[in-house]
A and B are shown apart, each in its own frame.
Chain A
């Protein structure tokens, strides 16, 4: 295990300048259409509310299968992301498709629970059919400097996941500094994360581009050292197609084209899909359709 008491310095001004520079890329014509479809294929269509019902989840799964009836050749989204007690519902609704089921676990969103119950929850959702587990780290322990605890926790959850993919949510909005984001990313990857993810969506700020860039650079360094490709998932606050394209530019120019696939990059978002659809239709027809033409699931 690497020494996580050491800090990898991150220059805040430099990170933000780099993002501003990347945002100047002008993505037009075919490259825009390609980006929109790619982004759609990377969406983890998400519903994580206390008032979620089986009916709500079933309808969301329906949308995942057929996002827009007017354009049947559109890509499907990558996964549907739900609370643990909805995994069963989603599994039935998505049977026969290759859309993954992602479940949050480990006492999402706070993570304030015992390790035993987190592991139990993880095993349960995997048993119920989750292909991907989105866990949260113990931010309190992390901020306290108890890195070993966080590392061990991630490693045990990873073990409990078995074949399921593990996404580790850092909740960057609570980590305060870019250096902490970097440290938590390194820790998660070392402990076996398949993906690192910015946020639960329950804390503001959720995903931001500078935070995402810090995490992508951590993934890059880890890849240089180990050759293992770790995925990235910004989540929360990404609502517009334009933002999504900006994120893709970040990925392309930091990690290269091998990461431009749902296997290694995801958007955790609920309303993004509709804006992507609206833009795709606009690119095809030349005019914007009313928002009422797109399903509100």
Chain B
């Protein structure tokens, strides 16, 4: 670990494989696992998807569609309608009508029943959603099956429960809905982010115009089918597809009472500027550069596993990814050695294979961005280590990557890469670790690894992040609020706190 040293020594020459030259673990060759592909026989994907407005699928006014590419094959999977100003206008009107005519006047427990129904329908079609999520977005089926879809259903179940209990959520106050919520979600967890947005909005009596990300709109439109199947009153949920301009049309629409956005800090700043001077409420969940701080007294093997999951979960396309690792000096060599060996067992490849750990990078654009950062890291003088796995010939795949010999001033340490790329720095004292962890414009999530309980409380309280995990990482639960400090966002989603942004209290 050369971070704090005066003379930068190339990492490759340091004895991460210590004393005995033979003490190298061997992970290749023998007993390779066969392919275990998830069957897609039962999956139906149409050539083209329309907008979902007022309870039905309608063609966009300008009749324009754009392709959605499967990042594993680089072939178009389907095409989505491009919603323009007029379409957004129609959607907002439908949502407004539904808000005044049905949804806000519906008895709260009836509202809850609809949301419960949506939750159950997601569970019933869980495998279908998981497969679609993996095909459209490139995430491994193990994650879409075991994380995205179950959590999305759990979110609906959780907020369905709140629908008729708002008086208890806000004792002594009357919680009233805001009206129409305009919601814009990212491409990293398409269905799950939809659940995070729609479930609390509906539970509090708001109606919704939601725009999924342009590369991953498929599950949102399948969800629209569920809304129809559930008999949800028309116009309560509207889905408009499109890119940045469609999002901008929602943000700037006069008929929208609240904006909920999850995405990049860059776009978040634009949204915040355009909302200035309006009376629209907003919540923003933006980027991050999560620090993972591992102390000498940590359970090292479990910490290594946690670090791996923190950065390589969903190809690193996670706003709360643990992308900066801070290791206390005494165990730095050991941790790096273990990380490298662990990385050799990561399986990178077809997202639909049940054994895949790291799937495809979501889009060509993101793939190029990650590669630019890899080049940047090398040109900044950092030492790059990549797992030796083979990559499929086609598709946007990236090897899991470590950078050592980096410092706070490096761009790869400062900027959000949103890919499977981890930077590793050392620290000597807890204070140094905390200072470095906080020395970033972001403040979304982080982790602390130590066997000592008092240290957990001491350190986690000083890290300026919305979420700090102790001896674990990337744990999500609908009952727990999630959100950022500083440039990582405003407002909280999830839990009781997730209700606030959707109500006026009287």
Contact = CB atoms under 8 A, between A and B. Distances in A.
A260 B28 CA distance: 12
Interface string B26-39: 11111111111000
Contact of B25 (A27, A29, A31, A256): A256
Interface stretch (B117-125, B176-184, B299-307): B299-307
A9 interface: yes
B238 to A, nearest CB: 37
A30 B29 CA distance: 14
Interface centre among B22, B23, B36 (most CB of A within 10 A): B23
Contacts of B36: 26-28
A38 B31 contact: yes
Interface in A5-47: 8-11, 13-15, 17-18, 24-32, 34-35, 38
A220 B338 CA distance: 10
Nearest to B344: A256
Nearest to A257: B30
B298 interface: yes
Contacts of B334: 224
A10 B302 contact: yes
A3 to B, nearest CB: 15
A57 interface: no
Interface stretch (A87-95, A111-119, A121-129, A247-255): A247-255
Contacts of B155: none
Nearest to A252: B31
A97 to B, nearest CB: 25
B20 interface: yes
Contact of A224 (B23, B26, B297, B355): B23
B25 A255 contact: yes
A228 to B, nearest CB: 8
A34 B32 CA distance: 10
B355 A11 contact: no
A217 interface: yes
Residue picked from B18, B298, B299, most chain A C-beta under 10 Å: B299
B299 A253 contact: no
A257 B299 contact: no
A224 B18 contact: yes
B354 interface: yes
Contacts of A260: 30-31
B492 interface: no
A288 interface: no
A209 to B, nearest CB: 15
A258 B25 contact: yes
Interface in B14-66: 18-23, 25-36
Contacts of A226: 19-20, 23
Interface in B260-306: 297-299, 301-303, 305-306
Interface in A109-150: none
Interface string B296-337: 011101110110000000000000000000000000001001
A223 interface: yes
Contacts of A11: 299, 302-303, 451, 471
B142 interface: yes
Contacts of A223: 23, 25
**A: interface residue count bin:** 35 or more
A34 B302 contact: no
Contacts of A14: 299, 301-303, 305-306, 471-472
Nearest to B142: A24
B399 to A, nearest CB: 18
B345 interface: yes
A265 B496 CA distance: 51
A255 B35 CA distance: 22
Contact of B354 (A9, A13, A26): A26
Nearest to B471: A11
A14 to B, nearest CB: 3
A70 interface: no
Given A24-B142, A26-B36, A256-B25, A13 B471 contact: yes
A226 B20 CA distance: 6
A29 B451 contact: no
B27 A256 contact: yes
Contacts of A257: 26-31
A55 interface: no
A73 interface: no
A292 interface: no
Nearest to A34: B31
Contacts of B471: 11, 13-14
Interface in A180-237: 217, 220, 223-227
Contacts of B35: 28
Contacts of B19: 225-227
Given A11-B299, A26-B354, A256 B31 contact: no
Contacts of A28: 33-36
A91 to B, nearest CB: 32
B22 A227 contact: yes
Contact of A227 (B20, B146, B354): B20
A258 B27 CA distance: 8
Contacts of A252: 27, 31, 345
A223 to B, nearest CB: 6
A27 B301 contact: no
B318 to A, nearest CB: 17
A201 B210 CA distance: 59
Given A14-B472, A26-B355, A256 B33 contact: no
B130 to A, nearest CB: 14
Contact of A10 (B23, B25, B299, B341): B299
Interface in B70-89: none
A31 B31 contact: yes
B36 to A, nearest CB: 4
Contact of A13 (B21, B337, B472): B472
Contact of A15 (B25, B31, B302, B472): B302
B377 to A, nearest CB: 27
Contacts of B305: 14, 17-18
A127 B299 CA distance: 43
A24 B354 contact: yes
Contacts of B354: 24, 26
B298 A29 contact: no
Nearest to B18: A224
B34 A9 contact: no
A125 to B, nearest CB: 32
Contact of B31 (A24, A29, A217, A248): A248
22 contacts: A8-B299, A9-B297, A10-B299, A13-B302, A14-B301, A14-B472, A15-B302, A17-B305, A18-B302, A24-B146, A26-B33, A28-B34, A30-B34, A31-B34, A38-B31, A224-B23, A225-B18, A227-B21, A256-B26, A257-B27, A257-B29, A258-B26
Given A10-B302, A224-B337, A257-B29, 6 more contacts: A11-B451, A14-B303, A30-B34, A31-B34, A224-B18, A256-B26
Interface of A: 8-11, 13-15, 17-18, 24-32, 34-35, 38, 217, 220, 223-227, 248, 252-253, 255-258, 260
Please list the 3 inter-chain residue pairs (A to B) with the smallest Cβ-Cβ separation, ordered nearest first. A227-B20, A14-B302, A26-B36
